Amino acid sequence: MEAAAAMSLQTCSFIGLDKAGGRNGGSVKVPNRFWEKRRVQAVRFEDSWKFSAPVRSGHAELKISCCCKKNTGSDNFHNSVDGALVLKRKSEDVLPYLNGRCIYLVGMMGSGKSTVGKILSEVLGYSFFDSDKLVEQAVGVTSVAQIFKEHSEAFFRDNESQVLKDLSSMHRLVVATGGGAVIRPVNWKYMKQGMTVWLDVPLEALARRIAAVGTASRPLLHQEPGDPYTKAFVKLTTLSEQRGKAYANAHARVCLEDIAAKQGHGDVSALTPTDIALEALIKIEYVLTEDAAVTNSRYIQG
């Protein structure tokens, strides 16, 4: 049911970026023309950063017809509709508290940032961006692997920071960041303009997912010897040790082991992207309502 729910919920649309810098130049600035186009979808709010308890509106219209189209079996159909409804209702709870703030998904390669991010953007009515894709478009190449090969990791990181900086002035976006975006403190300054959410996935599950699609598109994993699972697992273990603390900077942590335990089976591979998106919304709501409560109690106390 999940693939269908995810497919039907995703409406990712990227708008091409003009090449704004030479291949051998320094960082590449995302051109203004790009943001002018996006402004149609990504509304700017001048004063949206105040944490206060919002006025709740009634339930918005539920848009589930697209989910039904993709499913065939009757069990799948019901699971999918139920899952989509629960997710949509939760998004309506969270939206007033988000107040236009962007969501930045962080996590290791293969943690599901793009998959879950597209679902979140759809239910929230936000636009979706994959920062890797924005870097590729800004540099004028078709893959991150090409940037690593023809330039360097440092060149990629500079461009990644520039993209995050440009995104940080926007609103109503869900951004799937690259797995290494967390290592530069300045990127946190940009990402923390919005809500940051860490998708915390066990290494075995990450390596299984990556092995299923191959390591070619992920240059940091591709250099290791061995079969795709071993290559991925070995390098991810090292990266996770180096980055573990950095991911923990996020406002919210979505731990797949915890979700699986809550569901009573303990099997993270049985979790669907919709389960994970729902948990992300629950965690975001928790963080934002805590902030709103603190702000309101300060206001009452004068």
Ligand X SMILES: O=C(O)C1=C[C@@H](OP(=O)(O)O)[C@@H](O)[C@H](O)C1
| CB 173, min distance to ligand X, A | 16
Among 114, 133, 122, 132, smallest CA distance to 172 is for: 122
Phi, psi of 234 (to 5 degrees): -60, -50
Among 270, 266, 122, 276, smallest CA distance to 199 is for: 276
Q: By CB under 6 A, which span of 49-57, 231-239, 265-273, 283-291 interacts with ligand ADP?
A: 265-273
Which residues in 188-217 contact ligand ADP (CB under 6 A)?
209, 213
Task: Verify binding: residue 113, ligand ADP, rule CB under 6 A.
Answer: yes
Task: Verify binding: residue 178, ligand X, rule CB under 6 A.
Answer: yes
- Kindly determine how many residues on this chain lie close enough to bind ligand ADP according to the rule CB under 6 A: 15
Task: Verify binding: residue 100, ligand ADP, rule CB under 6 A.
Answer: no
Task: Verify binding: residue 83, ligand ADP, rule CB under 6 A.
Answer: no
Which residues in 104-163 contact ligand X (CB under 6 A)?
109, 113, 132, 144
| Length reported for the chain | 302
Query: Residues 79, 117, 42, 132: is their CA dihedral positive or negative?
Result: negative
Residue 226 is given by DSSP the state: S
Give the C-alpha separation, 139 to 30, whole Å. Answer: 9
* Burial annotation 180-208 (CB, 10 A radius, 16+ → b, else e): bbbebeebbebbebbbbbbbbbbbebbbb
Nearer to ligand X, 136 or 285 (CB): 136
| CB 121, min distance to ligand ADP, A | 13
Task: List the single partner that 115 binds among ligand X, ligand ADP, none, CB under 5 to 8 Å by kind.
Answer: ligand ADP
**How far is residue 101 from each of residues 36, 47, 145, 192, measured CA to CA in Å?**
19, 11, 31, 10
| CB 280, min distance to ligand ADP, A | 12
Which residues in 232-251 contact ligand X (CB under 6 A)?
none
Residue with the two structure tokens 């478009």: 137
Residue 270 is given by DSSP the state: G
Which residues in 114-153 contact ligand ADP (CB under 6 A)?
114-115
Nearer to ligand ADP, 110 or 194 (CB): 110
Nearer to ligand X, 115 or 127 (CB): 115
Spell out the residues 6+ positions from residue 156 whose beta carbon is closer than 8 angstroms to its own. 135, 144, 147, 148
Phi, psi of 157 (to 5 degrees): -65, -40
| CB 114, min distance to ligand X, A | 6
Q: By CB under 6 A, which span of 85-93, 108-116, 145-153, 232-240 interacts with ligand ADP?
A: 108-116
Give the C-alpha separation, 2 to 289, whole Å. Answer: 29
Task: List the single partner that 178 binds among ligand X, ligand ADP, none, CB under 5 to 8 Å by kind.
Answer: ligand X
Asked if 273 and 119 touch (Cβ cutoff 8 Å), the reply is: yes
Task: Verify binding: residue 218, ligand X, rule CB under 6 A.
Answer: yes
Nearer to ligand ADP, 97 or 251 (CB): 251
**How far is residue 81 from each of residues 2, 68, 280, measured CA to CA in Å?**
11, 7, 19
Task: Verify binding: residue 273, ligand ADP, rule CB under 6 A.
Answer: yes
Residue with the two structure tokens 């105040």: 50
Task: Verify binding: residue 228, ligand ADP, rule CB under 6 A.
Answer: no
Binding site for ligand X (CB under 6 A): 109, 113, 132, 144, 178-180, 218-220
